[in-house]
């Protein structure tokens, strides 16, 4: 009951969200905007033009020192040695079962200077875990309070952002970043996101967040930019089949089961890390179960936690489920035995006591067209 009395943290943009009419909700210990003018509008703005998200609740942990690479090779599952300065990498902190303590993005700012962007609800857990793993020749510090994070996402993101910065955005490839200024604010601009669209995540000091937010909204107004909340962020990432930590994966789901085998590096030079042997076996022989996407074919919305039935037997919960605004379908994710995970497999979902038909479909549900 401690959590109910704990004060929710506020991002530097809290007052702006209120001013823009956002509905605020608790998320990962923070009070965050879930929607402004309407979730579907915001979702469609990101697919067709651009949306601006406040994701300042995300954490930033710095790993710095001559031993940084060796340490990160030991605690993350992807191959850190592949990163060049200005490059980022999707990765995770695995436990001994090959399941993620968190999924993270590793940024290489310099040969001895790395930043991990981690989920808001896991900042303290990740930080303590990293320290407990005995960093040698490097120091792990929690820099989360030093950063606000704005995500400008959508096909027009570059067009909107470019006039505000001297950084040549077209030279920043996917999962790369550059340091410079945006509208005079010192910033790190990264071509990353959680929506399935092109876009940028912009790290700035907290004091710079509000003027930058206002400037981006103003600069994008004619192009259709909209402030977008966590509600749209969730439906956008689900259409793109991006996993949400705590829902689609956690400390009990192996990375291979979750479909994240591609971020597990078994390269000899990388060496050992928690869960490596198990992940290697699952990559080779296949995992016992798989996270699959489904589409509801009956009437009803399958939501997080509803039970999925396979051949009349409970197979597990819906890990994420929602109406998908762009696809105009009801979709979701769940774990199924690997032998029954093929597209076309029929399942039923218990929607508040009613059995609703669904079938496994290929994912991602939505993939943006190449430009």
Partner 1 sequence: MYPADRRYTKEHEWVRVEGDRGTIGITDYAQKQLGDVVYLELPEVGRKLEAHGSFGTVESVKAVSELFSPVAGEVLEVNAALVAKPETINTDPHGQGWMIAVRIGDPKAVAELMDAAAYQAYVGSEAK
Site residues, partner 1 (CB under 8 A): 23, 34-35, 38-41, 231, 235, 299-301, 303, 322-323, 325, 330, 352
Whole-number minimum distance, CB 249 to partner 1, in Å? 21
The least CB distance from residue 320 to partner 1, in Å, is 13
Please say which residue, 229 or 287, places its beta carbon nearer to partner 1.
Answer: 229
CA distance 87 to 331: 33
Q: How far is the CB of 99 from partner 1 (least distance, A)?
A: 28
> Are the CB atoms for 330 and 300 separated by under 8 Å?
yes
Q: If DSSP codes are grouped into helix, strand and coil, which group holds residue 325?
A: coil
C-alpha–C-alpha distance, residues 227 and 213, integer Å:
9
CB atoms within 10 A of CB 4: 6
In the complex, what is the shortest distance from the CB of residue 40 to partner 1, in angstroms, rounded to a whole number? Answer: 4
Task: For partner 1, give the closer residue by CB, 147 or 365.
Answer: 365
201 or 239, CB closer to partner 1?
239
In whole angstroms, what is the distance from residue 103 CA to residue 371 CA? 28
Q: Residue 39 in 3-state DSSP?
A: helix
Run of H or E residues at 291: strand 289-296
- Packing angle between helix 39-48 and helix 230-239, nearest 10 degrees? 50
Closer CB to partner 1, residue 32 or residue 204? 32
Q: Alpha-carbon distance 353 to 359, whole Å?
A: 19
Considering the complex, state which of residue 77 and residue 296 has its C-beta at the smaller distance from partner 1: 296
- We find the least distance from the C-beta atom of residue 39 to partner 1, in angstroms, to be 5
Nearer to partner 1, 35 or 60 (CB): 35
DSSP 224: T
> Closest approach of Cβ 368 to partner 1, in Å?
20
């Amino acid at each position: 009951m401690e959590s109910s009395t704990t004060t929710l943290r506020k991002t530097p943009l809290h007052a702006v969200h209120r001013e823009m009419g956002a509905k605020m909700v608790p998320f990962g210990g923070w009070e965050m905007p879930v929607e402004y003018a309407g979730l579907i509008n915001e979702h469609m703005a990101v697919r067709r033009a651009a949306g601006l998200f406040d994701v300042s609740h995300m954490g930033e942990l710095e790993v710095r020192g001559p031993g940084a690479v060796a340490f990160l090779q030991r605690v993350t599952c992807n191959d850190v040695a592949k990163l060049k300065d200005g490059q980022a990498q999707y990765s995770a902190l695995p436990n001994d079962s090959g399941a993620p303590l968190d999924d993270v993005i590793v940024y290489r700012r310099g040969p001895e200077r790395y930043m991990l962007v981690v989920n808001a609800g896991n900042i303290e857990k990740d930080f303590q875990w990293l320290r407990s793993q005995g960093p040698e020749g490097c120091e792990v510090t929690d820099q989360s309070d030093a950063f606000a994070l704005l995500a400008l996402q959508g096909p027009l993101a570059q067009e909107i952002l470019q006039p505000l910065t001297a950084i040549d955005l077209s030279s920043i490839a996917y999962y790369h970043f550059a340091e410079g200024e945006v509208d005079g604010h010192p910033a790190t601009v990264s071509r990353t996101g959680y929506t399935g669209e092109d876009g940028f995540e912009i790290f700035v000091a907290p004091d710079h967040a509000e003027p930058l937010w206002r400037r981006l909204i103003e600069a994008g107004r004619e192009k259709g930019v909209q402030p977008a909340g966590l509600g749209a962020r969730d439906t956008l990432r689900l259409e793109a089949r991006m996993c949400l930590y705590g829902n689609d994966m956690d400390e009990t789901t192996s990375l291979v089961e979750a479909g994240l085998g591609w971020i597990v590096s078994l390269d000899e030079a990388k060496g050992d890390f928690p869960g490596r042997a198990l992940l290697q076996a699952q990559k080779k022989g296949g995992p016992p179960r798989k996270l699959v996407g489904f589409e509801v074919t009956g009437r009803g919305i399958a939501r997080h936690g509803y039970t999925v039935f396979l051949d009349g037997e409970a197979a597990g919960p819906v890990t994420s489920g929602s109406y998908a605004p762009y696809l105009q379908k009801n979709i979701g994710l769940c774990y199924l035995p690997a032998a029954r995970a093929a597209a076309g497999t029929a399942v039923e979902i218990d929607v508040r006591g009613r059995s609703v038909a669904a079938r496994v479909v290929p994912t991602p549900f939505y993939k943006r067209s190449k430009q």
